[in-house]
Structure 1
């Protein structure tokens, strides 16, 4: 027989490997973007860390300072901070690479939903980080410094401990500020109605304080600020859902 026999599943296997090759290329490009930003900022790593530690240093009493308890801490901590900043700065490129990989498999209406979803999610996360840096940190650090003064103890913080605290708070508030987006998505996808979410306000308030107590460091002030932020963002999500999500009847008309 001169005709070649077709191997069952050959096309599927070729498609699978082509997707793997494309995925690898996308990951390399995303990682390359992060590394380019990192090496562009590495010279200013000490300045970046000083900017990050500024809210604490401004709140310390006279004579208070940050300390290094690890020999390599003064080098690696600024490097870690710079890498995290690089990931945040390059994240739009990372998201674009992820989008370019999954976009061919999406329907048109799904594509219209994904782009606003990704952009708003990234923007809200940055707003959460800014809220923690400009409002929460100065408030919490000043409170702790004044509370510590009557004890007669020096307030000297290790830079590794400070970095851990800051990253935890950034993550908590960054995710917290996704609340309006989560509410809009739940209503848009029909998982729960807007009226049901309005009726669940008391449970949302209690849940906000429970979540804040679990995820934040053990100080009451940051827990209260996170809980209040969650409650206000929940209300903002209800307003946004009322504005942007069409009613089922309106959807059927279309």
Structure 2
């Protein structure tokens, strides 16, 4: 047994990556990390400039379009509502008057949105850069098993962003924008509040969609077990339903639209956890 363990350790050492036939020093790693940050930031800045120069499209067709009644999601919900005989889902023009209360507010918002768009579009490259930084420290088998990491990370992130933008954000704006405590109170939403809501919800869901990757990693190192995920499925459903009730109008249909994709994401996390758990058993 001792000889077998020693043999496995030696085999793993042979698989360990070597750069220039010697170990990289601490300062070498810092230099590599610095280059990773510089290239990532430079890419974000370039794409942010592109977004800045396309102000009309970014704001009129993306950021502000989501609150209009002819937005694709609102038209789709109206169509579904007509099929089932419920006109409640037909979103009319939301009484959402957006105002700017700071003299530099619109310019700073333009800068902020340009940076956010630059970050979102540069996300795959940023993931690739950090993957390239970590890759030399991995063993051969770990490199092979995580070869599609950049694609998976990017796919999940963009799936979350699109899911949020086309479903959660319109439902959220429709609910809060049309909610009144009294007819005597009219909604006048500051530009900062509107932008913050759209961006925060969109990016948050994008990051939440990275959950399967996190679960896979934790299962690989033995922190999370598949059985515990299965046992907690009903509690997860309750949490998702509560979150859906918070960000959507108070009707069952809207909550179901949000809940089903999130539960599918959870089930996908369980499948990845099984794979990670098997990998952990094999490595042990």
Q: TM-score range by the shorter chain?
A: 0.7 to 0.9
Q: CA, structure 1 residues 123+68, in 2 after alignment: closer, same or farther (shift >3 Å)?
A: same
Give 1 or 2: higher helix fraction. 1
Alignment of 1:1-254 (within 5 A): 15-50=25-60, 51-58=62-69, 61=93, 64-148=96-180, 151=183, 153-208=185-240, 212=243, 229-241=261-273, 244=275, 247=278, 251=282
Distance (whole Å) between structure 2 residues aligned to residue 62 and residue 128 of structure 1: 25
Distance (whole Å) between structure 1 residues aligned to residue 200 and residue 93 of structure 2: 24
Distance (whole Å) between structure 1 residues aligned to residue 223 and residue 31 of structure 2: 36
Offset, 1:191: 3.2
Distance (whole Å) between structure 2 residues aligned to residue 31 and residue 248 of structure 1: 35
Aligned residues: 237
Distance (whole Å) between structure 1 residues aligned to residue 23 and residue 215 of structure 2: 40
Offset, 1:46: 3.8
Offset, 1:246: 7.5
Offset, 1:248: 7.0
Q: Secondary structure at the match of 1:157?
A: strand
Per-residue CA deviation, residues 47-84 of structure 1 (Å, 9 max, x unaligned), is 31222121124467477532111111111102211111
Structure 2: which 5+ runs fail to align? Answer: 1-21, 70-90
Offset, 1:161: 0.5
Distance (whole Å) between structure 2 residues aligned to residue 197 and residue 13 of structure 1: 40
Q: CA, structure 1 residues 148+248, in 2 after alignment: closer, same or farther (shift >3 Å)?
A: same
Per-residue CA deviation, residues 161-218 of structure 1 (Å, 9 max, x unaligned), is 11111122123311222233334444444434323322222232344456x39xx779
Instruction: Give the TM-score normalised by structure 1.
Output: 0.75
Q: Secondary structure at the match of 1:151?
A: coil
